[in-house]
Amino acid sequence: MTDVLPTSQPATPRVGLIMGSRSDWATMQHAYAVLQEFGIPVEVRVVSAHRTPDLLMEYSATAEERGLEVIIAGAGGAAHLPGMCAAKTTIPVLGVPIESSILRGVDSLLSIVQMPAGVPVGTLAIGKAGAINAALLAVAILARHDPVLRQKWHLYRQRQTQQVLDHPDPRLP
Ligand code: RP5
């Protein structure tokens, strides 16, 4: 008999957090932080629609069989990542428009939001708010069939409401 203790296996990722470039991490880290806060196993990868198109196809086509339930995809400029990802998978894809330097992310937003009927991408706001809300939307989706997560999600929303009610005067801390 071996006296080696069983090693804990890393949990299978439930959410894929992908982005077109390492430079998108400054925004997408906010989505990661929310997923961490809720204890959701997440897989983080740079996958570019233009620079690594074969990787994107492979990643998206195998997402469901690898256990992913939601993909959050952030991209900027000619932001084809979320749409092309959605074209190769049937799990929900949430798109985060990165705030680009020249057009302030309006280019990213329009690239992501204008999908043809039949291939949906849930498009969030430009930048940090979009990244946070993409993660919260992923939480809400997963919570539908996860009672523990549903409880955390309800508590999160209640705490947020209470914080506003507890500080009604903006002149006071
Ligand atoms: C997009 O091009 C990426 O999503 C990124 O937002 C943008 C710029 O990429 P880098 O030139 O910073 O790598 O594909």
Dump pLDDT digits (tens) for 51-60: 999 999 999 9
Q: What is the pLDDT of residue 10?
A: 76
Model confidence band, residue 149 (pLDDT cutoffs 50, 70, 90):
very high
Give the closest residue (by CA) to ligand 1 atom 14.
20
Cα 66 to ligand 1 centroid, rounded to whole Å = 26
Q: What is the pLDDT of residues 19-31, one digit of tens each?
A: 999 999 999 999 9
Cα 111 to ligand 1 centroid, rounded to whole Å = 13
Model confidence band, residue 102 (pLDDT cutoffs 50, 70, 90):
very high
- Tokens 């203790």 belong to which residue? 5
Q: 126 CB contacts (<8 Å, ≥6 apart)?
A: 97, 98, 99, 104, 105, 106, 108, 109
Give me the number of domains the chain comprises: 1
**Is 8 known as a binding-site position?**
no
Nearest of 40, 43, 78 to residue 59 by alpha carbon? 43
Residue 74 lies in a domain: yes
Does the C-beta of 97 come closer than 6 Å to ligand 1?
no
Atom of ligand 1 at shortest range from CA of 75 = 4
Residue 171 lies in a domain: no
Q: What is the pLDDT of residue 5?
A: 63
Residue 64 lies in a domain: yes
Q: How far apart are CA 173 and CA 167, in angstroms?
A: 8
Residue 100 lies in a domain: yes
Model confidence band, residue 133 (pLDDT cutoffs 50, 70, 90):
very high
The tokens for 154 are 């309800």
Residue 23 lies in a domain: yes
Does the C-beta of 29 come closer than 6 Å to ligand 1?
no
Does the C-beta of 48 come closer than 6 Å to ligand 1?
yes
Give the closest residue (by CA) to ligand 1 atom 6.
76
Range of the domain at 40: 15-166
Q: What is the pLDDT of residues 6-53, one digit of tens each?
A: 666 679 999 999 999 999 999 999 999 999 999 999 999 999 999 999
- Tokens 């939307």 belong to which residue? 137
Does the C-beta of 77 come closer than 6 Å to ligand 1?
yes
Residue 70 lies in a domain: yes
**Is 21 known as a binding-site position?**
yes
**Is 51 known as a binding-site position?**
yes
Instruction: Look up the ipTM and state it.
Output: 0.97
Residue 7 lies in a domain: no
